[in-house]
Amino acid sequence: MTTPMLAGDRGLTADEVAARVEAGAVNDAKRHTSRPISAILRANFLTPLNAVIAVLAAIAIGFTAMEEGLLEGLKQGLFAGVIIANIAIGTIQELRAKRTLDKLSLLNQSNAKVLRDGEIQEIEPNRIVRDDLVYVEPGDRIMVDGPVVESRNLEIDESLLTGEADPVAKVHGDAVRSGSFAVAGTGLFRAEQIGADSYAAKLVEEASRFTLARSELRDGINRFIKLINWLIVPIALLLIISQLADAGNWRETIVKTVAGIVPMIPEGLVLLTSVAFAVGVIRLGARRCLVQELPAIEGLARTDVLCLDKTGTLTEGGMDIAEIRPVDGADPAVVIDALAALAAADDSPNPTMQAVDEHLREQGHADPAWRVIDVMPFSSARKWSGTRFTDHGTWLLGAPDVLLDPGDAMALDADVLAAQGLRVLALVTAESASTTGGISGVKAQALVVLRQRLRSTAAATLAYFKEQGVAVKIISGDSPAAVGAVAAQLGVEGAAETVDARRLPEDPDELADLLERATIFGRVKPHQKQAFVKALQSRGHTVAMTGDGVNDVLALKDADLGIAMGSGSSAARSVAQVVLLDDEFATLPYVVDEGRRVLGNIGRVSNVFLTKTVYAISLALFIAVGAIWSWIAGNDPLPYPFLPIHQSLINVFTIGLPAFFLALAPTFDRARPGFVKRVLKFAIPAGICCAVPTFVVYLASLAHDGYDSDLPQTTAAITLFCLALAALAIVAKPYVWWKALLVGGCAAAFVTVLAVPPFARFYELQLPGAWNTTAAAIGVASGVSALLFWLVVRPKHLKD
C-alpha cells in the first residue's frame, strides 16, 4: 500500500535491503512458540526417574540372568517396558502438540510494516533489516529499537517496560523500544538495534510471554516428586540392609529388593500429565484456539470471575451506521463533508471511523479535500478524535458524555438512543482542542448512531458460564446505558443496574466491594480495567479477562488468564495466554471443558499413582522392620513377598493401562484449589489400607505354607491386586459403560493369568487353595472396609 506519511524519505531500496541481508544485518531473533524437538526428547527421555528405573531394570535383569538365564532376566526387567511405552506415547503426543502450536502460531504472527521504495510493505519481523523505516499505528507492537523519524501524534504505551500506565507522546528523535506498543497516532522509526545481540530481542520475548500462567497441577506434582524422593532413599536403604541378612540366596534377595523399590516411584505420573496437556493443545487447536502457555489450559477451568470487554467479544467486528442526525440549525451537507474529511484525515481509522467512511462511500459522498493542519488521533483514554482544518476550524468526534454538557438536548437524545443498545457518537466543533490541553468552545453539530452486531453465540455462552457458577463482569468504554442495553439483550442479570466508571471509588477495598455486587460497567478507562482485575484478585478470585484492543493490554497482562481475539491488536495477542484465532467467543466453553478434563483426570491419575507409592513404601517399611526383628530374634529372614514380574503384572492392570484411559477421559467437574491436599487425603489412607492387609495375609501364609512355598507370594499378590483394583474403582467414579468395562477387564485379565497355567508359570504364580483364597478374601474385605469407612466418616473428602 502507499504510505500515508509525509516524510520525504522513501525508505530503503530493494538493493539496499539485499546488501544488508547479505551482510547479516537482519532481525534474526526468533521467538519460540513451542519447545524445540531436542527439548521434548530430552524432557521425555533424560529424567531422574527414568535413570533410576533403568538402573533397577539392569540390576534385576543382570542378577536373574546370572542364575537362571537371559530370558528369565528379561522377564524380571519387564517393568521397564511400561516406562518405554510411556516415553513413546509422551514423545509422540508432545510432537503432535508442537506441530499444532507451530501451525497456529503462524496464523497468530503479527507482521511488521516497513517503508521501502516509497511504499509501506508488510513483512515478517525477522525480515526487518538495519536502517529500515518501520511504520506503526494503534495496536502495533514495537519489535525493534530505534529513533522516531516522523510522528503524527504518535503515542506509545511503555507499561510493560516501565510499569507506567500513561501513554508517552513521541516526536522526532525520541527512542522507541521493543515490548511497548502504539496506542494512538501513527509514526515512522528507524530500526537501529536489531537481532539477537540487541536489547530489543530480549524484550520481544519478554513482552510475548510476560508472565507464566500459574499451574497448581504442575506445582503439586513437583511437590509430590520431591517428597517421594526424600522418602524413597532411606526406606530403600533400610529394605536393602534388611534383605541382605539372607546371605545364602543373595541374588534373589537383590532382585526382590528391586521389586520393593520399583513401585515406590510414580514413574508414569509426570509423563501422563504432559500427555494430558499435549492432547488438550491438540483438541483446542482443532477449534482454532492457540494456547501460548500449556498450563493456561487449566487457568480458565479454575476461573470463577470472567471479565468481558463488550466490543469484539460480545459484539462482532465492525458496525453499521444506523443514522446521522444533525442538530437543529446545523447544515446537513456540512455535517456530511466534515465526517468525510475526518475519515480521510485519519491514517489509522478504528472500527467506528471505518464504519463512517464505508457508509459515506456507499452513499456517494466523496472526500471534500479539506486542508489539514493537525490530526488528533482517537485514544481510549480521551474517548475522542479530531482534526484541525485550515478553512473549516476544528471538528471532533467522540463520546457524547465526554464532549457535550450533560444538560445539552443532544446529550439527552444520545442517552435515549444508547439505552436502546445503539452506539452513539457526538460530532462537534471546538474553538480549541489538543490531546494534552483539553477542549473549549464546543458546539454540537450532529449525532452519529451506529448499530453493533451482537454475536449469535454470545447469549448461549453467557448462559453456560452462569450454569457453571462463573461470575461475569461486562466492562466497556461505551456509555453505561449502551452497555446495559447490550447486556439486557443477552439476558445478563443485573443489566438494569449499570455503573459509570467515572464515579468509581478510589479506595481498593471499596472498589472490590462494588465489583462483588455489580455486573455492568461503562466508560471504563484502560487503567481501570487493570484495577478491576487486581481488586477481584484481592478477594481471592481467579480472574480471566478477554479483550482485543490496546486498551485491554494492561488487564490481560495482570489477569490470571488473558484471552485475546485473533483479529485484535498484536499488542493484546502478545500478552495473552490464550488466543481465539477465529474471534469466536463461543470457543471459551470448550477451553473450560478441556481445562476441567486435564485437571480432573490428572487428579484421578495422581490418586492411583500416589496410592501405589504409599502402599509400596509402607510394605517396604513393614518388611524391613519385620526382617530386622526376625534377624534379632534368630528366626528365618523375612523375604520381600514379590518379584519384579509380580509388580509388573499388578501395576499394568491397576495403574498403567487404566491411568492412560482415565487421563484422557471427558470430565466436567469444576476445578477447585487444594490439589495436593485432596490427592494426599485419598492416597495415604488408600495406600495404607492396601499395605496392611497384604502384609498381614503374607505373614499368615508364610506361617501356614512355609518359606519354601510359592503360595505366600501368590496370596499376597492376589490381596494387593484386589485392594489396588478397589482403590482404582473408587477413583474411576462416576461410572459410565467404558469405565465399568475397564475395571472389569483388568480384573478378568488378572484372573486369566492365575487360571491359565502358561501365564501363571510365566508370572511365577499358582492357583491358591481354599485356605489361601479365604485368607486373601478376608484381607481384601478388611482393607476395602477400612477405606470405605474412612471415606464415609470424611464427607468433606468426598466433596473434594
Q: Which residues, including other chains, have CB under 8 Å from residue 799's CB and lie 6 or more apart?
A: none
| CB-based contact 293:577 (threshold 8 Å) | yes
| Beta carbons of 788 and 673 less than 8 angstroms apart | no
Instruction: Return d(Cα 322, Cα 299) in angstroms, integer.
Output: 40
Task: Map residue 489 onto helix, strand or coil.
Answer: helix
Q: Which stretch of DSSP H or E encloses residue 168?
A: strand 168-169
Cell 501364609 belongs to residue? 701
CA dist 394 and 401 (Å) reads 19
- CA torsion through residues 318, 321, 327, 333, sign: positive
* Amino acid letter, 174: D
Q: Does residue 117 contact residue 10 with C-beta atoms inside 8 Å?
A: yes
Contact 726, 784 (CB under 8 A): yes
**Residues 474 and 454: beta-carbon distance below 8 Å:** no
CB 679 within 8 A of CB 610: yes
d(CA 556, CA 522): 18
The SS3 of residue 479 is coil
558 in catalytic set = no
CA atoms of 114 and 122, how far apart (whole Å): 7
Would you tell me how many other CB atoms lie within 10 Å of the CB of residue 119? 12
Q: Are 479 and 424 spatial neighbours (Cβ–Cβ below 8 Å)? A: yes
> Quick one: CA torsion of 388, 393, 394, 399, rounded to 10 degrees?
-140
Name the nearest CA neighbour of 626 among 703, 723, 711: 703
Q: How many Cβ atoms from other residues are within 10 Å of residue 421's Cβ?
A: 19
The answer to whether the beta carbons of residues 448 and 357 sit under 8 Å apart is no
* CB contact at 8 A, 623 and 695: yes
**Judging by beta carbons within 10 Å of its beta carbon (0-12, 13-18, 19+), is residue 643 exposed, middle or buried?**
buried
Residues 6 or more apart whose CB falls under 8 angstroms from that of 17 comprise: 116, 129, 132
- d(CA 185, CA 347) in angstroms, rounded, equals 8
Strands 305-309 and 471-475: parallel
Helix axes 250-261, 588-633, angle to 10 degrees: 150
Residues 6+ apart with CB under 8 A from 701: 711, 712, 715, 716, 772, 775
| Catalytic entry in 140, 246, 309, 413 | 309
Residue type at 607 in one-letter notation: N
DSSP 584: -
Q: Is 794 exposed, middle or buried (0-12, 13-18, 19+ CB in 10 A)?
A: middle
Classified as helix, coil or strand, 282 is: helix
The pair phi, psi for residue 635, each rounded to 5°, is -90, 175
Distance CA(562)–CA(596), nearest Å, equals 18
Active site residue ranges: 309
